[in-house]
Amino acid sequence: MNQHQSRQQLWSLLDQEWDLIIIGGGITGAGVFRRAVSGGLKTLLLEAADFSSGTSSKSSKLVHGGFRYLRSGQYDVTFESVRQREKLLKQAENLVTPLGFVLPYKASNKQRRMVHTGVLIYDLMAPKWQHKHLDRTQLSKIMPLLSPQGMAGAYLYYDALLDDSRMVLRLIQETCEDGGVALNYVHAETLLKSKEGRVCGVALADRSGSQLGTLEVKARAVINATGPWTDCLRRQLGQQARIRPLRGSHLILSSTDLPISHAVTLMHPKDGRAMFAIPWEKRTIFGTTDLDHPFPLEQEPFCTNQEIDYMLEAIRAIFPETKITDASIISTFAGLRPIVRGDANNPSAESRAHLVLDEDGLVTITGGKLTIFEIMAEDALKAILPQLGKPLKPIQHWFKPNPVYSSDSPLSRERFDYLVGRYGQALPDLLNTSRPQDLQNVEGLNPHWAELPYNARYGMVEHLDDLLLRRTRLGMLLQDGGLNLLEEVKQLTQPALPWTEEKWQFEITRYQDIYQKAYSPNPENYLKQEK
C-alpha cells in the first residue's frame, strides 16, 4: 500500500497528468498496475470499494490449469493456465503452494482412460511428471470419507492453492513501493473525452467517508479492469454489453466435520457438474456453482438457499460417512465470474478466455481468470502502447523475492512460510512492530493476531470489513464472522485507527450487516427478514 501516506496526502497527488489510469483494484487491475509501474509508466490505480472486494476475494483459491476445461476442449486456456501455475509457484513462493487433487473414477474402463488421458495432458503441458494412480485401497487411505460405492480408483494430480485477496494486496503494496499510486474507495464516475472524442481521463469521487469530494484526472491512457462491472463504463461510450456475470458460490465448512488432506474433484450426483472440496486455512471449502446472476450488480452477491441445498446434497452423496448438517457451515461466499458472453445455453460451457477491447481509447481487459493475470496484464498494456508512443521496460519480478528464513526468527518455519507468502518483504517490518504475544494464531487458525494492528496501521484499511474479510480472512474462517472477538480486535487495532467511539459502533454495525447478508451460513434468510 502507499503505507506511509494518509488518504488526504494521496488524494492531493491525484491532480496531475498520468501515463495511465487503471480502473478496478481486483487481480486484473493489480496485475496491470504491477506491470505498468515496473515498465516505467506513471500509473494511478482506482478502486471503487476495497482492493479485491469484487470477484478477486471470492474465487475457489486455486491457481490452476482448469482440468475441467479439457473436457470442453479449451486446450489453449488450460495450456496457458498450467504454464502460469508453474511460474507462480516459483514467483510467489509460499503465497501459491502446491495442492494435490484426487480425481476418482468409476469401474468402467472408458472413464478410467478419460481421467488418465486428462492427467497425462495436464502434466505434459506443465511439463512436469507428477500424477500418480491410486488403487481402491490407496484411495480409501488418502480419502477415507469418500463414498466407496462404484469407485474403482483415482488419479492424484497437482494444482496450486493461494489466498486470492492477499495476492492482490501484495501486488498493489509492492507496486506502490516502486512509485505507483493506488487508492481504494474512489469511484471512477465518468469517462472524460478529448475534443477528438478519445477517452483521456476520468471524473472520480471519494467514497471513503473522508469527504474528499470529486476530481477530474487526466491520463494518456485509461484501462478498464472492472471485472463483472466492465460494461458499466463501456456503456458510457455507447457500447453493447459483452459480459455475462456468472455467480459461483462456496461453503466454508468445519474441517472437523469434513476433514480432507487433499482436494478432491467429483461430479454432482444430480447433474454431473464438477465440484471441488478443498482444504484451505484449516477449513474445507466446497464449491462451486455456476449460474446466471439476475440480481443488481450494486448488491454484494450471496449464496442462495437453493445453492446451499444443492451443495449439501453433493457433499452427502460424495462423503456419506460425514455428519455434515447446516450447522457444519461456518460461512458462505459468492462471486461473479466476468465471463465474455458467447452463445452457450449452459453457463459452464461458456469460454473462460480473456478479451481485450480498444473503444475510443478506452482499453478494456476482462474475462480470463486469476491464474493468468500476468498474461492479461501484458495483453492490456500492448493495447495502450500506440497511445503512449514508448515501449515498456522489461519486468524484473512480478513479486519481490521473499526474505530468507533464519534460525533466530521469532517464528517457527511453518508460521514464517505462512506470513512471508502473504507479506513478502514487509514481513520483517511486521515482526519488528509486533508484540511477541501477538505472534500467536487466532483461535488455532493460521492468521496471527499481529496481522490485525499491522494492517490497521499500514494496510489502507477504511472499514472493519476490509480488515476482517480481506487483509485477514478471519471473518470467513471464524464462526459468526468472529463477532465474539470484536472487543479484542478493537483493543488491538484502536491505536492504529483514527476512529471515534461512534465510528467504531458504525463499523461494527456495518460489518455485521455485510457478514449476515453475504457471508453468513444463510444469507438469504437475513435478506428476507429485511424485506
Please pick, from the candidates 369, 422, 471, 517, the single residue that binds ligand FAD as defined by CB under 6 A. 369
For residues 411 to 440, the per-residue mask of contacts with ligand FAD, x marking binding by CB under 6 A and - elsewhere, is ------------------------------
Contacts of 384 (CB under 8 A, 6+ apart): 20, 221, 223, 363
Report strand pairing: 214-224 vs 18-23: parallel
CA dihedral 131, 135, 137, 143 (to 10 degrees): 40
Q: How far is the CB of 191 from ligand FAD (least distance, A)?
A: 10
Torsion of CA 317, 473, 189, 299, to 10 degrees: 40
- How many CB atoms lie under 10 A from the CB of residue 480? 15
Residues from 474 through 513 that contact ligand FAD (CB under 6 A) = none
CB 243 within 8 A of CB 228: yes
User: In angstroms, how far is CA 18 from the centroid of its own chain?
Assistant: 27
For ligand FAD, which residue of 1, 2, 11, 29 counts as binding (CB under 6 A)? Answer: 29
By beta-carbon proximity to ligand FAD, the closer residue of 289 and 516 is 289
Rounded to a whole number of angstroms, the minimum distance from the CB of residue 497 to ligand FAD is: 22
* All residues at 6 or more sequence positions from 89 whose CB lies less than 8 Å from its CB, including other chains: 63, 96, 97, 98, 160
Does 23 help bind ligand FAD (rule: CB under 6 A)? yes
Shortest Å, Cβ 296 to ligand FAD: 13
3 state SS for 339-359: EECCCCCCHHHCCCCEEEEEE
Instruction: Give the HSE-up count for residue 59: Cα atoms under 13 Å, Cβ half-sphere.
Output: 24
Query: Of the candidates 180, 228, 482, 521, which one interacts with ligand FAD according to CB under 6 A?
Result: 228
- Scanning 7-15, 26-34, 260-268, 494-502 for contacts with ligand FAD by CB under 6 A, the matching segment is 26-34
Least CB distance to ligand FAD at residue 134 (A): 24
Pick 448 or 517: Cβ nearer ligand FAD: 517
Tell me the three state secondary structure of residue 498. Answer: coil
Nearest CA-CA partner of 496 in 455, 435, 449, 443 = 455
Which listed residue (27, 102, 384, 467) binds ligand FAD by CB under 6 A? 27
Site membership for ligand FAD, residue 24 (CB under 6 A): yes
Cβ 243 to ligand FAD shortest distance, Å: 10
Question: What 8-state DSSP symbol labels residue 403?
Answer: P
CB of 218 to ligand FAD, least distance (A): 16
One of 25, 39, 482, 521 touching ligand FAD (CB under 6 A): 25
Site track 90-129 with ligand FAD (rule: CB under 6 A), x = hit: ----------------------------------------
Find residue 97's DSSP bridge partners: 161
- Determine the Cα–Cα distance for residues 373 and 371; give it in Å rounded to an integer: 6
Cis peptide before 288 (omega within 30 of 0): yes
Check residue 201 for interaction with ligand FAD (CB under 6 A): no
The one among 96, 139, 212, 225 contacting ligand FAD by CB under 6 A: 225
Going residue by residue from 263 to 302, which x/- string records binding to ligand FAD, judged by CB under 6 A? -------------------------x--------------
> DSSP assignment, residue 482?
G
Name the minimum Å distance from CB 366 to ligand FAD: 6
Cell of 132: 500418480
Which residues make beta-bridge pairs with 448? 441
Find the shortest distance in angstroms from Cβ 371 to ligand FAD.
4
Residue 172 within binding range of ligand FAD, rule CB under 6 A = no
d(CA 403, CA 228): 36
> Is residue 84 a contact residue for ligand FAD (CB under 6 A)?
no
Q: How many residues bind ligand FAD (CB under 6 A)?
A: 39
Q: How far is it, in rounded angstroms, from Cα 191 to Cα 203? A: 6
Binding mask 35-64 for ligand FAD (x = CB under 6 A): -----------xxxx---xxxx-xxxxx-x
Strands 151-162 and 96-106, bridge-based pairing? antiparallel
Distance CA 284, CA 469 (A): 17
**Residue 452 interacts with ligand FAD (CB under 6 A)?**
no
**Residue among 10, 125, 315, 336 that touches ligand FAD (CB under 6 A):** 336
371 binds ligand FAD (CB under 6 A): yes
Closest by Cα among 160, 157, 161 to 103: 157
What is the contact surface with ligand FAD in residues (CB under 6 A)?
23-29, 46-49, 53-56, 58-62, 64, 187-188, 225-229, 233, 248, 288, 335-338, 368-371
